[in-house]
Structure 1
Amino acid sequence: MVQTALPDYRGGFYDELYRLLDTNFSLYGGAHYFEPSVQTDNSILHKKLENKFILGNRFLWQRGVKHLAVEQGIVVLEMNPRILSNWWLLYKRKSKGLKTVLWGHAWPRKGKHSPTDRLRHKMRKLASTIVVYTKKQQEELQEKMPATHILAAPNALMSSAVMNVAAGKQQHLIYIGRLTPEKKPLFLVQAFKACLPDLPPETKLLIVGAGEEQSKIATFIEKHHLENRVVLYGHISDTKELERLYASSLLSVSPGYVGLSITQSFGFGVPMLISRDEPHSPEIEAAIEGDNVVFYETDDVVRFRESVKKIFSNREEWIEKRDAISTYCRERYTVEAMAMVFYKLTQDNDR
C-alpha cells in the first residue's frame, strides 16, 4: 500500500492490516501530505518514500516506488490524479497484467459532474479494482463503470473496542480537525462568542487541531478576552485524551465541510452540529438529521446561535441518544470493517 503520508489518525487501520496480513503487508509513505500540516507519524511501521512536490505542491512524484512496477502481489495506490508517480505505476503494471487497486474518493471534491472528473476517470480505468469510501459512491461509480470491480470500505478512524460513551458533564462544544480556511474554525470561534449570552458560564469551546488558522484564532481569543471560554489544545492523537474531551462535550461542531471527525464523534456518542451547504466529504452519509446531527445555515452566525441554544435546551434528550449514536457508528464505521475489505482482496487474489 502506497500513501502520500501516514498521519496518526490512520494508525489503527494500518495496525489492523498488519494484524490480518502480517508479513504479507508492506506500507509505503512520504513525510507529509500536499497540505504540510498532515504529517506522517513515524511510529507507524512503514518504508519511507521521498515526496517531491512540484509547481507549488500542485503535483507529486514519490521516489522509491519504481520496484513496485513489477511487484507480483496487489499494489494499492491513492486515487489522486495529482500523484504523477501513481500514473506511471498504473501504466506499467497494466501493461504487465498486474493487479493494481485504486483507493480514495470516487469523485472530485466538486462532485461527479466536475470537469476534473474526466482526468480522474482516465486514472480509474487503469485500475484492476477500485475501493471507495461509501456504499453510495460505490453504487454511483458502478453505474458509470459497470465492468469494473468496485468495493466500498467505510472510512473509519476507530476500532470498535474504543467506541464507547464515557461518563462526563457534557457541557462543552468541541471541534476536532485541521485549522484551515476550508474547515472554518475562525468562524466557529466568532459564532461561539455570539452564543455566550445563551450558554452556562462553565461551557467552553474546545478546539483540537493544528494548521494555518491557529494564529488568527489565538489573536481573536486574546482580543476578545475569551481565554476562559475557548481552549486551543493543538493536535492530540491519544485516544484516551480524546475520549475524555468528547465525554465532557454536549456536541461537536463542523463549521466547514464534514470529514472523518464525524465518525469519531459518533463513536463516542457525541452528536454533531454541521454547516449545511458545504462540499462535504462522503462521510456525510453517516449524518441523520435529528438523530445524530443538527444542520444550520452555512456562515450564518444567527442560525448557528439558534441551533446551539436549541441543543442546550434539549440537553437531556441529546444525552439520552448517546448510546444509540455510538452503537450506530460501531455497527458501520470501524477500522476492522475497513481493513477487512482489503484483506478479502488478497484472499481473492490467492485463488
Structure 2
Amino acid sequence: MDKLNLTVVARNAALFRLPFYNSLAEKGAQIFIVCTKDHSAIKDLLNPNINLVSARHVLGLCFPSKPVVSHQGNKVVVAFNIELMPWVAYKFGLKNVFLWGIGYGNNRVGNIVRSLIISKSRGLISYMPSGLRLAGERREQSSFLVNSVFVKNPPVESMVDPLSKKLIFIGSLDKRKKVDLLLRAVSILREMGEDYTLEIVGDGEQRNSLEALAQALELKEVVTFHGSVGLHELKMKIFRGALLCIQPGQAGLSVLESFSFGVPVLTYRHAVSGGEIDNIKDGVTGFFYEKLCPIELALTIMGLSQKPHEISRVADNALRYFKLFANGDRMVERFIESVK
C-alpha cells in the first residue's frame, strides 16, 4: 500500500480518538500528538509510529518543546486549537494547513476569530455540517465528516426494548450535561407510580454530588453509577434492553455512541453541539424535549414509553444511520478524501 502523504498534528488525545489516529498511522500518515498533559497511560495503546511531543505554555499559548520533524511535502491537517495557532502559522504557514474539527459555537467573538483563522488556511474539515457556517470564502475547499466513535461489531438489530422502563445516560458528569435534571425527572416519574430505572455510564467532577442527590431523592435502589466503562462488550450489556438514552443537556458524541447500540436519544432541542444539531432528527433518529425542566422531561419520557412502535422504528433508524454514515471507519475514509 502506498504511503499516505499526510501529516496530522493534534493537541492531546482522548481515548475515543485513539483508533482514528492508529488507523491513519497504519495507512502511512505521520501523526504528531502535542501533549500538554501526561499521556503515559495511552502510550501503549498507540501505534508505535505515532509521535508524542511534549509542549509548554507561554502566555496562554502552546508550543512544542522540541521541533516536529519536517512534513516532507505532505499535506498537513491540524486539529484546531486556538492555543496552537501561532506555532502552526510559524511552523507550516496557515495557508498550507487544513484545519480540522473547528465548530460553530455560541460565543460571537469566538466565531469571528475562528472565521478569520479559517480564511487564512487551506480549508476547513468540520466535525459536522453545521460547522461549515464558519468556512466563509473557504467553503469550496472545505468539507465535513461525521465526528464519530469506532465500534468493531455493531449489533445486527437494535438493542432497544420498547416496553422497557430502563433509561441510560452516557457521558462526562459535568454541569453542561445536566444529569441532576434527569435524576429529578426520574424521581417525578416514580412519584407518579412509574418504576423507571437509570444506568449512568461516565465519570466526572459532579459524580459525588450526583450520587448524593440520588440518595436524597431516594433513588439509590434504582439508579446505578457505573463510572467510566472502556470495554465495548460491557457497554453493550448495559445498553441491552433499554428504552431510551437520555442526554438532558449537551450530548455531543454520546448521541452516536447510543446510536451504535440502536438506542434512540432524547435530548434538549436547543443544545448547541453538532451531536444534537446534525445527527438527531426529531421522530426519525431520536427525540427532543422543549424546556430544561424536570417535569417537562419526565412527561416526555412517559409519553414516549406509551408509543412502543415509534420507539422501535426510531431505534432501527438510529442504528441504520450509524452504520451508513457515522461509524469510525467511514470517518477515516472521509478524512482522507477531504485532503486529497
Q: TM-score, normalised by structure 2?
A: 0.85
Q: Which residue of 2 aligns with 1:300?
A: 293
What is the DSSP-based 3-state SS (H/G/I as helix, E as strand, rest coil) of the residue aligned with 2:326? Answer: coil
Q: How far 1:39 moved relative to its partner?
A: 10
Q: Which residue of 2 aligns with 1:178?
A: 172
1:137 paired with 2:144, answer: no
Q: Which residue of 2 aligns with 1:110?
A: 106
Q: How far 1:102 moved relative to its partner?
A: 0.7
Q: Deviations over 1:228-266 (max 9, x none)?
A: 111111111211111222223110011111301111111
Q: Which residue of 2 aligns with 1:343?
A: 336
Alpha-carbon distance in structure 2 between the residues aligned to 1:47 and 1:176:
31
Alpha-carbon distance in structure 1 between the residues aligned to 2:54 and 2:67:
12
Aligned positions of 1:63-212 closer than 5 A: 63-64=64-65, 66-68=67-69, 71-81=72-82, 83=83, 85-94=84-93, 99-107=96-104, 109-110=105-106, 114-138=108-132, 140-142=133-135, 144-146=136-138, 149-159=141-151, 161-162=153-154, 164-165=156-157, 167=159, 170-198=164-192, 200-201=194-195, 203-212=196-205
1:269 paired with 2:262, answer: yes
Q: How far 1:197 moved relative to its partner?
A: 3.5
Q: Which moved more, 1:301-310 or 1:286-295?
A: 286-295
Q: How far 1:329 moved relative to its partner?
A: 2.1
Q: TM-score, normalised by structure 1?
A: 0.82
Alpha-carbon distance in structure 2 between the residues aligned to 1:310 and 1:119:
43
Q: How far 1:270 moved relative to its partner?
A: 0.8
Q: How far 1:52 moved relative to its partner?
A: 3.8
Alpha-carbon distance in structure 2 between the residues aligned to 1:52 and 1:287:
39
Alpha-carbon distance in structure 2 between the residues aligned to 1:39 and 1:190:
39
Letter matched to residue 181 of structure 1:
K
Alpha-carbon distance in structure 1 between the residues aligned to 2:285 and 2:313:
11
Cα distance change, pair 320–130 in 1 and its aligned pair in 2 (3 A):
closer
Letter matched to residue 270 of structure 1:
V
Q: Deviations over 1:123-154 (max 9, x none)?
A: 2133223200123433x345x21476111111
Paired residues of 1:31 and 1:39 also in contact (CA < 8 A) = no
Paired residues of 1:266 and 1:329 also in contact (CA < 8 A) = yes
Q: Percent identity?
A: 20
Q: Deviations over 1:45-80 (max 9, x none)?
A: 33223344567xxx4414246335665322321222
Alpha-carbon distance in structure 1 between the residues aligned to 2:85 and 2:155:
35
Q: Which moved more, 1:217-226 or 1:337-346?
A: 337-346
Letter matched to residue 67 of structure 2:
K
Q: Which residue of 2 aligns with 1:44?
A: 46
Alpha-carbon distance in structure 2 between the residues aligned to 1:193 and 1:174:
15
Q: How far 1:30 moved relative to its partner?
A: 1.9
Alpha-carbon distance in structure 2 between the residues aligned to 1:32 and 1:164:
39
1:11 paired with 2:11, answer: no
Alpha-carbon distance in structure 1 between the residues aligned to 2:143 and 2:41:
26
Alpha-carbon distance in structure 2 between the residues aligned to 1:192 and 1:331:
33
Paired residues of 2:123 and 2:138 also in contact (CA < 8 A) = no
What is the DSSP-based 3-state SS (H/G/I as helix, E as strand, rest coil) of the residue aligned with 1:332? Answer: helix
Letter matched to residue 230 of structure 1:
V
Paired residues of 1:208 and 1:236 also in contact (CA < 8 A) = yes
Alpha-carbon distance in structure 1 between the residues aligned to 2:144 and 2:81:
17
Cα distance change, pair 167–273 in 1 and its aligned pair in 2 (3 A):
closer
Paired residues of 2:11 and 2:81 also in contact (CA < 8 A) = no
Cα distance change, pair 239–65 in 1 and its aligned pair in 2 (3 A):
farther
